[in-house]
Structure 1
């Protein structure tokens, strides 16, 4: 028996018919007549030397040979489709598909989209908010912005800014809680989205860093950082906020970060794309723009006392 593959058109006809279990629906999908599709199936069966479908009155079902062939053809055409789309994206410098976490999208990207559009009217930006582990081929995205440690093996990775957390609140609450000691009795907002960090950057760690005993078990908890910051903007309490997400509100005066003590972490937002793709004009333009947008974070960090999370003593 020859290992030579049958014509691609015959395999394509089989894959569609096996998926639909209908010659008519497969023909409609492939934009051919049922007679033409039936001819391709017959050609494949002659090439194989065995039937792949059992023809019934008004339906078809796979034979044992058809059931064996079906998964491989489905996977093969799916991989071909993905490869083709990825190849198209490489030569397309007019669109850019970006994925980032919901908080980064809400607090960083969305408020600045107009600025990017003004600077790069030739690029059509498409955003997808999500946190799952990236597969650039499967997910059909050009670049990702993710928070964490890495490693980012096989990817081009550029950190956006040094990350640290500090108490953030409205100017009105800052007048009432004007010393670190008073925060022990303040309404605390908890951002649980960074509970995965190896060294905690939470309220208990911050109070240990300033050597003040406090009960931090109270207060609302949020699984998304942007929701925790929005609660602080509404005056609901004081949040231990990541500077990358809160700096725009701090610089505008909507929120204030009155205390010098901050906890730094080696986790950070990184700009990620497949290795080698960082030189593509649209990806390079977005990377340069994002890095420029991160520059104001340095202003917020002036005169801060940054304590590494790893250097904070564990709870007794």
Structure 2
């Protein structure tokens, strides 16, 4: 009689925890809480009737049973990934699904997608604009994702795109009027537009950090309007509703079109450890549709970065 297999989620939690020797790292990889990983491991141990982990003096360790089980589980998941890859190749090769952060989608990617469609006229593209971190093991229809974070995505192919520079921006109309915005101290007369950062980027700089770096005192850094996506804050700035602190990639087109300006110059930027990344499972890398989009995207990034460099040189001159 065949033995009843444990739940797949429990095996995934065990594989991630065994490979990382950390419930916290496994939780981050699986986009769940450490408590959820611990619960899955406990259930698996009860199912198997044996302990799989033990606490060492400084780290988590596998028991003898865990060491015996881990290679087989990893091999099983590798075989499953390979089978799914073969299924991907068998399905319509001109169908691409992209998961992308909403603000990057609306403010940078979509305005450039017409060039991709001209290069790949027969390829159908579907977008999943979401802040949700896609789980490629569960959402196998997603080919690749554009994420905002530190680039730490275990088990995935990771390529840095751009980002890491925050700039205060506003509508040109705020440079005039009763309280013209000329120096950082003038911000006391204007509305600050905020985007509370998501859990993936809890230490990204905000107005409090920027004002402190600029040496500005006497301004409440928490006052103003709040938005759940950066693109909304940027649009509010375009409409003259205040001053936004936004990643340069999200405001580049509006700056070039004159809809936004940097009231204190591009030298008044703030650095952030977070950037935008292209990520995808290794088994997806051989798919023609993924290679075509990846190559086009990296060309667009090179063009964008070159434009920024030239603008900086022209400004310095």
Shorter chain as normaliser: what TM range?
0.5 to 0.7
Whether 1:90 and 2:89 are equivalent positions in the alignment is: yes
Q: Which residue of 1 aligns with 2:103?
A: 103
Q: Which residue of 2 aligns with 1:265?
A: 272
In structure 2, the CA distance between the partners of 1:220 and 1:195, relative to structure 1 (3 Å rule), is farther
In structure 2, the CA distance between the partners of 1:83 and 1:277, relative to structure 1 (3 Å rule), is closer
CA distance in 1, matches of 2:211, 2:2: 70
CA deviation map 1:255-288 (0-9, x unaligned):
1123221111121110000124334321122112
- The correspondence for 2:223, drawn from 215, 218, 224, is 218
List runs of 5+ in structure 1 lacking aligned partners.
6-80, 305-316
- Is the contact between residue 156 and residue 276 of structure 1 (CA under 8 Å) also seen in structure 2? no
CA distance in 1, matches of 2:127, 2:274: 23
CA distance in 1, matches of 2:186, 2:312: 21
Aligned residue for 1:178, secondary structure, equals: coil
- TM-score, normalised to structure 1, is 0.65
CA distance in 2, matches of 1:300, 1:217: 31
- TM-score, normalised to structure 2, is 0.65
In structure 2, the CA distance between the partners of 1:232 and 1:297, relative to structure 1 (3 Å rule), is farther
Q: Which residue of 1 aligns with 2:240?
A: 235
Q: What's the offset of the Cα at 1:143?
A: 0.3
CA distance in 1, matches of 2:312, 2:114: 32
Q: Which residue of 2 aligns with 1:184?
A: 188
Whether 1:249 and 2:254 are equivalent positions in the alignment is: yes
- Is the contact between residue 244 and residue 297 of structure 1 (CA under 8 Å) also seen in structure 2? no
In structure 2, the CA distance between the partners of 1:194 and 1:129, relative to structure 1 (3 Å rule), is same
Structure 1 segment 31-180 matched on structure 2, within 5 A:
87-91=86-90, 92-139=92-139, 140-175=141-176, 176-180=180-184
Aligned residue for 2:208, secondary structure, equals: helix
CA deviation map 1:219-240 (0-9, x unaligned):
1111111111111111111100
Whether 1:203 and 2:207 are equivalent positions in the alignment is: yes
- Is the contact between residue 81 and residue 283 of structure 2 (CA under 8 Å) also seen in structure 1? no
List runs of 5+ in structure 2 lacking aligned partners.
5-79
Whether 1:284 and 2:291 are equivalent positions in the alignment is: yes
* Greater Rg over alpha carbons, structure: 1
Bigger mean CA offset, 189-198 vs 258-267: 189-198
Q: What's the offset of the Cα at 1:200?
A: 3.9
CA distance in 1, matches of 2:157, 2:99: 15
CA distance in 2, matches of 1:115, 1:275: 26
- Is the contact between residue 159 and residue 270 of structure 1 (CA under 8 Å) also seen in structure 2? yes
Cα RMSD of the aligned pairs, angstroms, is 2.8
CA distance in 1, matches of 2:300, 2:258: 18
